[in-house]
Each structure stands twice: as structure tokens, then as C-alpha cells.
Amino acid sequence: MSGSVITGWGTALPEKVVTNAEFEARLDTTDEWIVERTGIRERRFGGMTSSLAVEAGAAAVTKAGLEPSDIDLLILSTTTPDKAVPATSSTVHAQLGCSGAAFDLNAACAGYVYALVTADAMLGARIGFERALVIGADTLSVITDMEDRGTAVLFGDGAGAVVLEHHEDAEPLMLASDLGLDGSLLPILYCEHGGYLKMEGKEVFRKAVRVTVDSAAKVLADAELTGDRIALFVPHQANVRIIDAMLQRLGIPPERAALVLDRTGNTSSASIPLALSDAADAGRLSDGDLILFSGFGAGMTWASAVVRWGR
Ligand SMILES: CC(C)(COP(=O)(O)OP(=O)(O)OC[C@H]1O[C@@H](n2cnc3c(N)ncnc32)[C@H](O)[C@@H]1OP(=O)(O)O)[C@@H](O)C(=O)NCCC(=O)NCCS
């Protein structure tokens, strides 16, 4: 028996706080509408994807009691890379001083769960990797049209990261995982090079509830679990009404959800590690607890995993 263990976690948020009142002042919207329809009260704007990723990655490595040079696999989940070439993970790798391999992964807002599953599989394959740094970082403010009330109020910038270490005597990290995509749904959420995000909000909402509930229900069934066995539910932070629908349909007690959406908005790849870190820092996790991760995003992608916390 061998497996990987989450040994560190960390986050980064830009300093600039943007409240709903700031949108109310210049768009045809209200704080009341935004809070009621999305659950978002404020978000952060600023930084670059690489700078946020470096800050979150450094914090996670320190928390794990490691040096960056101990990391031999770096996966950066992002949909807003600094440059077209090279991958932003190259910048992050150099600035942190990591060893070994690094690459970017883009599965939109489901990317962080895709990256966790990939890192765990690569450590488990015993192909030369011992310690992975899995970062989710995005600067969606760069690709959001700040004049479009339908999208401007939803997104924010940030980063979150975890360290995974392989141990010969650990139980498997993942009890079950599910990664998927329906490419026919591309037209409901996309961004052209040099353009802004285009979204059919209502359609994304409807499809997101369906695909995430199906995917999360599948991993629970594969792991032979029911929702009440989940100690912490870490959903993609896009809309509190989507999260509430998932909790209800999966039979997970609402107080088990990790939520940062009210303070961060939708930070894409960063949302799941931001919520996980917030819960871990608040002492909400104990060794052996089962965590359900579930994300969805443009593509339309989805990803769920049941993960064991600690050893
Ligand atoms: C975008 C979203 C919050 C809109 O909420 P909704 O309840 O579905 O609202 P609708 O789309 O039905 O729009 C209702 C009205 O509110 C308006 N509206 C949209 N944004 C608004 C805003 N910021 N303030 C006030 N009104 C707004 C719409 O224009 C529409 O007006 P109309 O009826 O005159 O056309 C919601 O659909 C959503 O969260 N979708 C998923 C988005 C998502 O998760 N994206 C990221 C995927 S990773």
C-alpha cells in the first residue's frame, strides 16, 4: 500500500478589495441583486497569475516544512496564463526555485481537480516524482468586460496551492475520481484570444447543477459512500445557489460546505484550493476526514474526487 498525502497548503489574494457597492456606483446593478443571485459580497482584483501562484506555492511549501527545491513536480492549473509561450509554470518554477518538471493545465474552473488527480496519479505511477506542488491561479479580471453587468460582478483574482508527498506506507489519497467534458457546450462560456468572457449565465447555471451533481454522485457511489459521510464539501465557488442545490441533492449537511465565495467571487482554478485552505486554517479538518471536491467550468468541463485528509 502506498499513496500521497496533502502536507501543506497556502493561498494568495491581491490587496485590492472590490465591493458590490463599487459596481452599484457605475453599472445597472445593486448589492442586493448580487448577494441574492450569487452570494458574492466582494472580490479581489490585481496581480499576475504567476505572482499570485508564486505566493500561494511558497506558502504551501513552507507549511509542508519543505524547501521549493524539494518539489520535483509542479502543476499549475490556470486559464489566464501570463503569456502564450512559455507556460506560466516556467515562471513559477524559476521564481520559487523548484526542481524537476512543470507544466500548465487548462480545464477552466474544473482545472484544479483535474490537476490534483493528475498529480496524485503521477506520484503513484512511480516514474520519478516524490513531491508535487499543485497550484490553481487565475486573474479573471483581465478577461472580464467590466462594463457587462452579467459577468463583471462574478469574477475575482487569486491563487491557492497544496503540496502532495508520496509515502510508501500511506493509504491512497483518492477514494474515487471522475473527470469529464461535454465539448458541445463550448458556446455557452468562452473567451477568444484578446477578448472578454462571453457567457449565457442561465444556461451555464442549469448545466452546471446537472453535471456537477451527476459527477459528485458518481464518485460517492464509486467510493461506496453517502453524502453524510463527507466531512468537508469543497465545491467550485461560482454561485451559492449552485452550491446549495448540490448540497441538497447529494445529502450533505449544509454546514459541511467550505465557502469563500462571498469574499473572493469566482476565482476559477483558485477557488477550490482557496476554500480548502480556508477550512484547513479554521481547524475544520482532522486526519482521516473525507473531502469531496467538485468543480465545473468552460468546455464544459467537470471534475469530482473523494480525498482522504491526513495519513
Ligand atoms: C449569472 C447569474 C448570476 C444570473 O442569475 P439568474 O438568476 O440566472 O439571472 P438571469 O440570467 O435569469 O437574469 C435575470 C435578469 O437579471 C439581469 N442581470 C444580470 N446581471 C445582473 C446584475 N449584475 N445586476 C442586475 N441584474 C442583472 C439580466 O440581465 C436579466 O434581466 P432581463 O430579465 O431583463 O433580461 C446566474 O445565471 C449564474 O450564476 N450562472 C452561472 C454562472 C457561472 O457559474 N459562471 C462561471 C462558470 S465556471
Residue nearest atom 42 of ligand 1, based on CA coordinates: 201
pLDDT at 311 over 80: no
pLDDT tens for 10-69 read 999 999 999 999 999 999 999 999 999 999 999 999 999 999 999 999 999 999 999 999
- Ligand 1 binding pocket includes 24 (Cβ within 6 Å): no
The residue among 167, 194, 225 that closes a domain is 167
Query: 31-38 and 240-250 are packed helices; what angle lies between their axes, rounded to 10 degrees?
Result: 20
- Ligand 1 binding pocket includes 150 (Cβ within 6 Å): yes
Note whether 141 and 155 are within 8 A (CB).
yes
CATH of the domain at 218: 3.40.47.10
What is the overall mean pLDDT for the chain? 97
The residue among 152, 167, 182 that closes a domain is 167
- Residues 197 and 161 grouped into a single domain: no
- 202 CA closest ligand 1 atom index: 37
- Residues 7 and 155 grouped into a single domain: yes
- Residues 151 and 237 grouped into a single domain: no
Q: Which residues are part of the catalytic machinery? A: 109, 236, 266
- Residues 133 and 18 grouped into a single domain: yes
The number of distinct structural domains making up the chain is 2
pLDDT tens for 158-171 read 999 999 999 999 99
- Ligand 1 binding pocket includes 163 (Cβ within 6 Å): no
Residue 123: the pLDDT is 98
β-partners of residue 131 are: 165
Dist CA 73 CA 119 (whole Å): 8
Read off the pLDDT band of 275 (50, 70, 90): very high
Dist CA 203 CA 233 (whole Å): 24
Q: How far is the CA of 268 from the centre of ligand 1 (A)?
A: 18
What are phi and psi for residue 155, nearest 5 degrees?
-105, 160
Domain that holds residue 194: 174-308
- Residues 141 and 25 grouped into a single domain: yes
- Ligand 1 binding pocket includes 198 (Cβ within 6 Å): no
- Residues 236 and 179 grouped into a single domain: yes
- Residues 107 and 15 grouped into a single domain: yes
- 238 CA closest ligand 1 atom index: 44
Query: 271-281 and 111-124 are packed helices; what angle lies between their axes, rounded to 10 degrees?
Result: 80
Read off the pLDDT band of 1 (50, 70, 90): confident
Dist CA 13 CA 267 (whole Å): 10
